[in-house]
A and B are shown apart, each in its own frame.
Chain A
Amino acid sequence: MTIDWQLLGFGDEGWGGVLLNAATVTVTVSLCAWLLGAILGSLLCWMQIGGSRWQQKLAGGYITLFRGVPELLVIYLFYFGGRQVVAFFGEILDIPGPYDVNGFVAGAIAIGLISGAYQSGVFRGAYYAIPKGTLEAATVTGMGRLMMFRRMIVPQALKTALPGMGNQWQSVIKESALVSVTGLVETMNQISTASNSTQMPFFFYSVGAVIYLIITTCSDFVFRYVEKVAMRGQQRARL
């Protein structure tokens, strides 16, 4: 098989430029979803650890729901179902249509909500690994709850949580490929377009696979570096 590498060029003829754009969209959607997941995950984790009984039940139900339903279905629900909801409110408020939901927003929220369910578990494990004495000491020295969270809980929990958060980031990147079904032009969508219009699906899907591998491998290095920084001065257990 001869491959025309010009196809990946950056000029008018090549697909390089649009693919690079699409890869940027993939990373942006993933980053938004992952950050949303981290915020939501901490809230859920807080509800499960320190919440009242019904708060614990609510968080547990949320986690079961978003871990048990296929990611693709959640995205469909948010995109098509979101359209239905927007149309419903639009008709009530008498705003003229046509009604639409932004694919980026719907996708990022859908994946963020799923990621939140998983990240809360990561955070909960990390919280339990904090030596309780340090939290008692913080209470004794009169730290407020917010200061205790910022200066005691986050730095200590992050050390344990980072590998799990890294795993979550990897799966968020891969789940972002599913957002292509909403018409958002990210890597997967652009690759499909390219393979359809050139009639070279094998070549272009391989290119897509390589793009995802580059993103996941690079971010793995970043996470390892951050972990090393977070663990500095820390004695590691020997196996």
Chain B
Amino acid sequence: MDFSFLQHTLVALLRGLPLTLNLAVLSLVGGGVLALLLNLLRQNRAGSYLARFYVWLFRGTPLLIQIFMIYYGLGSLPAVRESIFWPLLRDPYWCGLIALILNDAAYTSEILRGGLNAVSVQSLEAAKVCGMSRFTTLRRITLPIAIRQALPAYSNEIISMIKSTSLVSTISLMEMTGIADSIVSETFRALEVFLSAAIIYLLLTVLVSKGVALLERRLSPYYAGAR
């Protein structure tokens, strides 16, 4: 075992960590907002078909194809190249981020839908009787209950998004997997380099799952009674 090489590799890989985290956090935030909008769309019939089509489209195709489509595909259309979005869509960072957001929104909207289904009609009626406006009801009753119900499923989604960020290495973004790939092509020592990268990702995902488990316990105060 060549420890100085391993140390060198780990330091180099950790330089990619900020970009990995940046992509993961921003795609989860953007995807969450879009997922909420998709669920609001579901309130009427036409919107519901639209939302279902969106989910079918983005869950049925591989993320890799979505990334390539936005990066290589959209850039090949003259209409896109002349539009104001071109400075954004020319940049692999924004293309990767947009693909991750769109993909995350499809999965998160389904998780949120499950959570919203768990909100009882009675609690909504009670809110109405108290004279809450629709927005206040959403903010104080519906979303807190829905989010608490959806949290276990959502923790899976957080972890899968952290892992999905590795795919943007295929469009030349130097996050952790991109850096690992470039070190391998310089040194031909795939086993050590990819294993080091795997360990960093593993620590990250374990940390997140522990964190969400803690949050879950904090958000369910009434379970604490069953000691």
Q: Which residues of A contact B63 (CB under 8 A)?
A: 174
Structural contact, B65 and A188, CB atoms closer than 8 A:
yes
Interface presence of B37 (CB below 8 A): no
Structural contact, B202 and A201, CB atoms closer than 8 A:
no
Structural contact, A201 and B205, CB atoms closer than 8 A:
no
The interface size of chain B toward A, counting residues with CB under 8 Å, comes to 43
Structural contact, A73 and B191, CB atoms closer than 8 A:
no
Interface presence of A230 (CB below 8 A): no
B206 to chain A, nearest CB (A): 6
Interface presence of A80 (CB below 8 A): yes
Q: Which residues of A contact B190 (CB under 8 A)?
A: 76-77, 80-81, 83-84
Q: Which residues of B contact A1 (CB under 8 A)?
A: 77
Of A143-151, A154-162, A206-214, the one contacting chain B is A206-214
- Identify which of B69, B181, B194, B204 contacts A209 (C-beta below 8 A): B69
**Interchain CA distance A137-B73 in the complex, whole Å:** 61
Q: Which residues of A contact B60 (CB under 8 A)?
A: 170, 212-213, 216-217
Complex interface residues of chain B between 158 and 202 (CB less than 8 A to chain A): 159, 163-167, 169-170, 177, 180-181, 184, 188-191, 194-195, 197-198, 201-202
Most buried by B among A70, A71, A74, A206: A70
Interface presence of A64 (CB below 8 A): yes
Structural contact, B201 and A80, CB atoms closer than 8 A:
no
Q: Which residues of A contact B197 (CB under 8 A)?
A: 73
- Identify which of A70, A206, A209 contacts B201 (C-beta below 8 A): A70
Q: Which residues of B contact A173 (CB under 8 A)?
A: 62
B2 to chain A, nearest CB (A): 14
- Identify which of B74, B191, B206 contacts A81 (C-beta below 8 A): B191
Structural contact, A72 and B69, CB atoms closer than 8 A:
no
Query: Given A69-B163, A77-B195: A178 and B189 within 8 A (CB)?
Result: no
The interface size of chain A toward B, counting residues with CB under 8 Å, comes to 43
A205 to chain B, nearest CB (A): 4
Interface presence of B54 (CB below 8 A): no
**Interchain CA distance A109-B99 in the complex, whole Å:** 28
From DSSP, what is the main secondary structure of chain A's interface residues?
Answer: helix
- Identify which of B66, B188, B206 contacts A68 (C-beta below 8 A): B206
Query: Given A81-B191, A192-B68, A202-B76: A73 and B62 within 8 A (CB)?
Result: no
**Interchain CA distance A173-B61 in the complex, whole Å:** 9
Q: Which residues of A contact B94 (CB under 8 A)?
A: none
Query: Given A67-B159, A212-B61: A202 and B180 within 8 A (CB)?
Result: no
A217 to chain B, nearest CB (A): 7
| 16 CB-based A-B contacts, threshold 8 Å | A1-B77, A68-B159, A68-B202, A70-B163, A76-B181, A77-B198, A84-B188, A84-B191, A176-B62, A200-B76, A201-B75, A202-B73, A206-B69, A209-B61, A209-B69, A213-B57
A68-B205, A216-B59 provided; 7 other pairs, C-beta below 8 A? A65-B202, A73-B180, A73-B194, A84-B188, A170-B60, A178-B64, A209-B65
Could you tell me which A residues sit within 8 Å of B by CB distance? 1, 64-65, 67-74, 76-77, 80-81, 83-85, 170, 173-178, 180-181, 188, 191-192, 195, 199-202, 205-206, 208-209, 212-213, 216-217
